[in-house]
Chains A and B, each alone.
Chain A
Amino acid sequence: MKPTFQIVQTSVALPEAPPAHEPGGWWLCAQAPDGRLLGALHGLPEQGRSRARCSFHFGRVVHSAPELGLYQVQTTLQLGHDATGEAELSGLFLSADAEAPEAVADALLQAALARLADADTPASWVIAELPGWRDAAGCSPFWDGLVRHFLPPGSLDAADAGQRHGPAFSSHVGEMLPRELIHAAFLSPAAQQALGRCADSHTAWLAALQRAGFADWRHGRIEDGGPLLAAPRRAGARRR
């Protein structure tokens, strides 16, 4: 049976959905015939206009000493603002009582990509950040293995601070983190495994983004290592 909902655009923030990462842009809502909100996302034609948007680039360096017969490939993290100026999808929300969540997510993404393809923006990519993996206690191994070491001991409860500062928390944390290359080998094994790994709560969105043409952008969120995915912005125009 074909799901019945309609996609509606609004500029008003939705209390059910996570906050948009930056002001401006628009919301798309999937509404059931009875008015229930089934899903939502926020589109922004150009991110990084209101605050510094930080991410870790996951790269590689080769350490080679031919005379010793040694050759090693190392994963690296480089803090930067690489996503600045790109378009963004955030505020990703799917209602627990949506009858066909995949269809809702697919429809929202298709509509959002179409709008962004037509937007007047220099962006080449549409970026979507997904929260990073957490353990059964809700703790981020990436936070514990990396971020925590660059804050005064016991100074900050990540959950509380995240709540208090909202999406801007990421920018504030970025001010505390190293600007130079970090070799992933120096992180705890759990933190290394969390690089670019999506939270279990967002696997439905991960799958939907991949169906919509998003791919791993080799970047991670600075607070929990969650993946950044990207799709060519103009691709949305071709899919209509």
Chain B
Amino acid sequence: MTPTHTLPTDLLLRPVAADDLDALQGLAAAAGPGIGSLREDRVGLGRRIEESLQAFATEDEDTSGEERYLFVLQAPGSGPGSERLLGCAGIAARAGYASRFYSYRNEFIVASSAALGLTQRTHTLHLCHDLTGSSLLTSFYIVPGAPAAAAQLLSRARLLFLALHPQRFSDRIVAEFPGLLDADGASPFWDAIGRRFFGMDYPQAEALAGGRSKAFIAHLMPQSPLYVPLLPEAAQSAIGQLHPDGELPFQILIDEGFDADSYIDIFDGGPTAEGRLQALASVRAARPLAQLAAQPNLACTRHRAGFRARLVAAGDAAADLGPQPLATPLQLPEPA
């Protein structure tokens, strides 16, 4: 548990603003290629900011599911105007909006022959659109060395935002995480599957997919199940395995109750976590701040316009977060 006296209560999570472009580009450059939804592309990042501003400004009755929200985590500087960004995190209201969101679903088939006296369980991967329309957590990045509580704030404040505005989102929440790469940056999963159908390196294909609906993938990937035993061992081992860069945000969501056993990314085999919003630990534990005042919390404003979230020490009423901030304990209870 984070001691109250070290709690970085001056960190602020807020929607990205137009003048964050330079700082956001710096974060994207530091994030590297593993986060497909955060590329170092100034034009693309400018578009992301515009989309986010528009999403926050859209009234509930005008939402379509196309909205993409982007939050930034701001640390105070030495004076006014010297604040710096420690990280960012996003939400896409509906995964695969107006198209399809592709995943591989893990399934197992059992074959048996009474005459041979054999039974065998075989792991298969099914290309599917199951997660289309789910709300997608995206673009998580936090600078190395940031306090652990900062990462909690950056990731979990999104869940409070989802809980406060359920009419804008699906109750099924998903997040993709980067898969294993070898020392040369090659993906064994991609080399065994995607390369056979795309004829190009993983980074090249990943860049092609970035910003697209990924629907074009359907034209080139096998529609029939993949039989995992036919893949090279390196590719089998990479299925559902996490790149070390993804460990922190992955663990935060697993602690929330996300399940990461059912789906994987079609490019690099990284895990795709999914959960039901109302079943997530932060959402289940969310209360008005006044009811949780005896412990450190993560709290946010209740309104979409001017949304803010920060860490709140025990006993702090957080008047700066407006009337009756919504809070959830920084330290979640252990699962039953």
Contacts and interface: CB of A to CB of B under 8 A. Distances in A.
Contacts, number: 89
A186 B227 contact: yes
Contact of A181 (B197, B220, B222): B222
Interface string B105-116: 000010111011
B118 interface: yes
Interface residues of B, number: 30
A176 B222 contact: no
Contact of B219 (A64, A150, A182, A183): A64
Interface in B221-260: 221-227, 229-231
Nearest to B226: A186
B82 interface: no
Contact of A165 (B115, B122, B224, B226): B115
A158 to B, nearest CB: 11
A1 interface: no
Q: From DSSP, what is the main secondary structure of chain B's interface residues?
A: mixed
Contacts of A65: 216, 219-220
Given A63-B219, A176-B111, A181-B222, A152 B118 contact: yes
Nearest to A188: B230
A175 B115 CA distance: 10
Nearest to A148: B229
B198 interface: yes
Contacts of B111: 150, 175-177
Contacts of B220: 63-65, 68, 70, 72
A149 B221 CA distance: 22
A168 B115 CA distance: 10
Given A72-B220, A181-B224, A182-B224, A172 B115 contact: yes
B116 A161 contact: yes
A183 B127 CA distance: 14
Nearest to B198: A70
B120 interface: yes
A172 B221 contact: no
A181 B124 CA distance: 12
A67 interface: yes
A70 B116 CA distance: 44
Nearest to B115: A172
Contacts of B208: 68
Contact of A186 (B109, B198, B231): B231
Given A72-B199, A178-B109, A183-B224, 4 more contacts: A74-B222, A150-B111, A183-B196, A185-B196
9 contacts: A63-B197, A67-B216, A68-B216, A70-B199, A150-B227, A176-B113, A182-B227, A183-B224, A186-B196
Interface of A: 61, 63-65, 67-68, 70, 72, 74, 146, 149-152, 155-156, 161, 165, 168, 171-173, 175-178, 180-183, 185-187
Smallest CB-CB A-B distances: 8 pairs: A181-B224, A149-B229, A65-B219, A175-B113, A186-B230, A172-B115, A63-B220, A185-B196
